[in-house]
Every structure is written in C-alpha cells, then in structure tokens.
Chain A
C-alpha cells in the first residue's frame, strides 16, 4: 500500500478507489443533492451506494435529474428518522462500510448514530474533520472541529486531537504537525482559556500522551500556516508554517474558517465525522458537488483504515 502522504484532492480520490468499492449507506436519501453525490461517487468507482428513504420519491428525483440508478440499492423507509435508524443499523450490522447523511436534521441523524442499541459508537467522542488544500496545493491540511463539538472542554479537545491524528494516518501523514489555535502565542489566564488548553495539550503531546505527533500551541493561525510570518515574528516552533492539523478552539471559529475557505478563498473542502465505528459523511446541501465527492472519498479512505 502506498504510504506517501496524500497531497491533493485528486490524489485523495485516486487513492480511495478500491475493487470492489466499499458500500456507503445514505440515510434519508430523498433529495437530489444526496442522490447526485452518491451516484457521482459510484460512477467514480468510490462506493456502492445504498439509498435509504422513500424509494418512489428517490426514483422520481433521479429520473428528473437524469441520474442513473443502475448498481444502486434502494431500501424503503417512510420518514427521515426511520431512514436514519435503518441506515445506521445497516452499517452496524456490517452491511455498509460508511454512512452518509441525507435530508434529515443533523441531531436526528446523530441520535441514530449514537444509539446504544444499534448505533456506531466507537468508544470515543465524535468530532468533525474538514480537509483543504494548502494555498500552493502542495499538501492537505486538516481542520477540526468545525461541525460537531460546540465549545469543547479540555478532555473533549484531547479526543478531537486524537481523532484528527487517526485521520491524518489514513492520509499517510504518520507524524502530523498539530497546531492548536488561539489568538496569541502565550497563555493568558483567565481571559483566554483556549491558550491554556493549547499549552496543556502541548505538554501532553511532548510526553507522548497523544500518540505520534508534533504538537504546538497556542499558535495564531498565521503562524500555524505561514512560515514567513513565523520567521518575521521570530517564532521558534516545530509546527509553525507547516501545520498538518489545525485545531480550533470552538465551533464558531471552525465554522468561520471553513466558510472563509469556501466562500472567500473559493476553495473546495472535504469533511467527515470521525470517532464513530464507521466514518460518517455529513455534507451540507450548499456544499459543491466536488466537496461532496471529496468528502465521500475521505470517508472511504478512513473506512479502509478503521479497526
């Protein structure tokens, strides 16, 4: 297996292809964006889709959109909550390797994912990891958590970092450089608790408590991503300017960074929920078709590395 780090989205899609492709079950698939994403990923050879929802509606939408459902399995479920439960149960029972959210509220979907009876609890906390290409498109950078954990406490941040390191491993980054983001580089108490979390994470990483990684923080975003800035500011850090993983303090920061990359820089991203037994793809309807495809490819790659 090629263990070189994946550096671009094109490479991500290429490396995610398998024969046969893994099965991806889509919960509440009765909407055009979800059907289109699943069918596109199927045509790219990334997955074998299982669409759970109102079959008649799925067929009608596919017909209207000229989407071919050959090779796509349909499973009937009358409403989004039931569809989520059916989809999660299929993954739980080993009938699918990854899961994707369709037209269902995130909280209803995650309730099924976390069901103690048939859910996909992986023993740790769930977190969202987004992926984007560096400005010079020379490497991929992971951003976490912009989608699940609202204001994570310290212990949750430990889990978020570990989840991201695991995903970095799936991308061939064996010893990722992790930047824990704050607004400044020094611990400011009690005014900036994110700086304390960053410093404590740094101490844990230094002692090998977070697995194989090089972690530094608190670091501001410019120092984490831009080597020239770090040099100008005289910052000495093994991570400065070379971060593979960017850990933001809360969901507001993560969400803003994600959408700035998308809508200001005009770049595509990928995103996946990790920490569950199976990777979970939760794209938004407003995400571009490319973002959806890359997200599925990321989920596939993650599924190949799941224990």
Chain B
C-alpha cells in the first residue's frame, strides 16, 4: 500500500540521510522524497511517499520518530491532505503534432513555459495521478526530457493549537505527546 508521510525535521546537515536510512533498513523503497523549509526556518518538512506493507512501514515510521532530529511524523493516509507534485517536461513538437501537444497541455491546465525549434516545455503542478495521466498522453508524442519534484503534502484541516508540535517563537521542540525534543 502507498503511504504519504509528512515529517517535520530539524533543518541541519545529514538529517535527510538518517531519515532515508530508517526506511532503507526495513527494505522499503522510497518512491519520492521532497524536502523544503517550513514557516519556521529551523524546521524542514520532508514528504516521503513509500510503498510497502502497513506493518513494515509502521515499523519504519517508529524508527524514524525515534531519531532526535525528527520532530513529528504523520502518516497522511489517516486524514485528508493536500498533495501536489511539480512536473517540468520538454515535449517534442512537429507541425502535425502541435495541436495534440497543446490539447494535452490545455486538458491538464499545464503552463507552456518554453519553446524551441523542436520542443515545448510544460509545467504542471498537480496531484500525482494527473501527472501520471498527462505523461501517458504525451509519451507517444515524444518526451525529450523531464523532471518530477516528488510529492509535497500538507494536512487539509486546521492544526490543533493545543497540540502544536512547534511553539511559534520558542525551542526546543515539543512532541505531540509532550515529550521534550532533543536539542
């Protein structure tokens, strides 16, 4: 089963390798991993998409949570969330395929951000299903090159103020359970 994990970590060198290792040690392949700063520059959000049986993934999650650099880890399968991925793709064009390429771009509301003699560069920010669907449609037309950002995700509902993982102005971090985070 596919799991989308949202993980808040301390923004410091080596964190990503340690988080990845927690999954690798359980033999879980990471399908995508995207990391970026949050509203607090000391904290990064890592969105990890993994495929594996629920029990093994849960074990990896627990191992990950035990790392001192991990502030919070949520499996977003248990709640509604917004997920987006960015695709940049260069599609080959010939005069006779231009309408088809543009039709696909319009269908998925992809933006055309570049044009050369032989290719159009499209940008699409959407959920991974839409991106997969668009790729399926442009593949027969000829993909020159492409890059996917990996999925980023955020819970859809309100954050619970009483259970905020990160105090707005203060550190060290506090676990949802109230346990003091390691500094």
A: residues with CB less than 8 A from B are 153-155, 158, 187, 189-190, 193, 196, 199-200, 203-204, 206-207, 209
Contacts and interface: CB of A to CB of B under 8 A. Distances in A.
Contacts of A189: 112-115
Interface in B88-116: 93-96, 98-99, 102-103, 106, 111-115
- In the A-B complex, the 4 residue pairs with the smallest Cβ-Cβ separation, listed nearest first, are A207-B95, A154-B102, A153-B106, A204-B95
Given A155-B99, A207-B95, 16 more contacts: A153-B106, A154-B99, A154-B102, A154-B103, A155-B106, A189-B112, A190-B111, A190-B112, A196-B115, A200-B98, A200-B102, A203-B93, A204-B95, A206-B95, A209-B96, A209-B98
Interface in B2-28: none
A200 B111 CA distance: 15
A193 B96 CA distance: 20
Interface of B: 93-96, 98-99, 102-103, 106, 111-115
Contacts of A204: 95-96, 98-99
Interface of A is mostly: helix
A207 B96 contact: yes
Contact of B99 (A158, A193, A196): A158
Nearest to B121: A189
Contacts of B114: 189
Contact of B102 (A153, A187, A206): A153
Contacts of B103: 153-155
Contacts of B95: 203-204, 206-207, 209
A187 B115 contact: yes
23 contacts: A153-B106, A154-B103, A155-B99, A155-B102, A155-B103, A158-B99, A189-B112, A189-B113, A190-B113, A193-B112, A196-B112, A196-B115, A199-B115, A200-B98, A200-B102, A203-B95, A204-B96, A207-B94, A207-B95, A207-B96, A209-B95, A209-B96, A209-B98
A197 to B, nearest CB: 8
Which of B94, B96, B98, B112 has the largest count of A CB atoms less than 10 A from its CB?
A: B98
Contacts of B93: 200, 203
B60 to A, nearest CB: 40
A56 to B, nearest CB: 49
A193 B98 CA distance: 15
Contacts of B115: 187, 189, 196, 199-200
A204 B94 CA distance: 8
A187 B116 CA distance: 10
Contacts of A153: 102-103, 106
Nearest to A195: B115
B98 A203 contact: yes
Nearest to A199: B115
A182 to B, nearest CB: 14
Contacts of B106: 153-155
Contacts of B96: 204, 207, 209
A209 B38 CA distance: 50
Nearest to B105: A154
Nearest to B99: A155
A158 B100 CA distance: 11
Nearest to B107: A153
B55 to A, nearest CB: 46
A305 B114 CA distance: 41
B35 to A, nearest CB: 27
Contacts of A193: 112
A155 B106 CA distance: 9
Nearest to A207: B95
Contacts of A206: 95
Which of B93, B102, B103, B113 has the largest count of A CB atoms less than 10 A from its CB?
A: B102
